[in-house]
Amino acid sequence: MCRQENREETSYLILSNNLAHGMIFMKTVSLQKKRTSFGEDAAAYQSARPPYPATVYDQLMAHVPLSGAHIFEIGPGTGQATRTLLAHMPAELKAIEPDTRLCAYLEGHLAPTAPELSVVPTSWEDAPIETGRYDLGIAATAFHWLPQTDALGKVYQALKPGGWWAMWWNVFGDPDEPDAFHQKASPLFAQLGDSQSWQQGQLPFALDRSARLSDLEAAGFQDMETSLLRWSITMTAAQVCALAATFSQIITAEAVIKKTFLNALAQLVDHEFGGTVERRFMTALYMARRPPNPVLPSSPL
């Protein structure tokens, strides 16, 4: 889908102009459909999305011993973070996923060798969750799909007093130091319109530190920490297209839009960058703790 079998002398510039001048239009897609769109090709999603930096898990383990822990995960997708958590042998990992196709993927690829994993096919809003049970809750590139106030309130209640919440995102571009491909491709991506995690003229959801910390504080969390990790990766045209094809705007687009857009990306990489690009990505991590129960003074004798 990324490349034309018989490539014509049509450059990515003409393709991008077609998008920009309205020859192709994006359809309106509901939030619910977008947030349950990623299971359309779970194997392709798993293959295309880069892993999270190891530093993320180091920071989790600095606060919560994962071995023997009771953990819940919101929106595990294909289990990129889930796999790493399971490797540390928690007592329980409850994975709450609204896309039934992704649930089937998790059941088929992870559950057979991980009896501690339970996959719950529902949204976080509707998930049955025991109050005060969990040492750790996480959401990896998922929490932007939820209403923050209600979702964080439920997270708070699910954690034990003293339990930790961690949410993080891979951000596919560095707005402070955009790479050359980012700058060249931005007009193309702008034609896709806003997404739940990115809106034109605003900070990406994951990088809006003030808003994220304000939401956590309003929910009652304490000891909030943030980390911003910068990293780079070299990608071929096929890898660039495969990653873009996992974005909700592309998954839910009409076939002609998807084909035109991905062909434009491929030609940009090949014609302007010689077939490979160096991408600058970021990972934004937020951690916060439900306050422990206060230690009551001893009663006088």
Q: Per the domain annotation, does 296 fall within a domain?
A: no
In a domain, residue 295? The reply is no
Query: What's the domain count of the chain?
Result: 1
CATH label of the domain that carries residue 273: 3.40.50.150
Query: First CA to last CA across the chain, in angstroms?
Result: 78
What sign results for the dihedral spanned by CA atoms 254, 257, 263, 269? Answer: negative
Residue 245 contacts residue 44 (beta carbons within 8 Å): yes
Q: Does some domain include residue 297? A: no
Sign of CA dihedral 111, 112, 115, 120: positive
Q: State the virtual CA torsion across 126, 132, 135, 140 in degrees, nearest 10.
A: 20
- For residue 190, the enclosing domain spans 12-289
Domain membership flag for residue 294: no
* DSSP helix/strand/coil, 23: coil
Which residues in the chain land under pLDDT 70? 1-36, 193-201, 295-301
pLDDT computed for residue 287 by the predictor: 99
pLDDT of residue 297: 55
Give me the pLDDT at residue 300, please. 54
Residue 124 lies in a domain: yes
Nearest to 125 by CA among 80, 196, 75: 75
Residue 210's SS3 state is helix
The candidate with the shortest Cα–Cα distance to 121, out of 146, 100, 142, is: 100
DSSP string for residues in 144-167: GGS-HHHHHHHHHHHEEEEEEEEE
Q: At what angle do helices 237-244 and 255-273 cross, to 10 degrees?
A: 150
pLDDT at 7: 39
112 domain residue, yes or no: yes
Distances (CA, A) of 34 to 22, 99, 242, 248, 249: 22, 10, 18, 6, 8
- 5 in a structural domain: no
55 in any annotated domain: yes
What pLDDT score does 58 carry? 98
Sheet holding 117-120, edge to edge: 117-120, 92-96, 70-74, 134-140, 159-171, 276-289, 222-236
3-state percent helix, strand, coil for the chain, nearest multiple of 5: 40, 20, 40
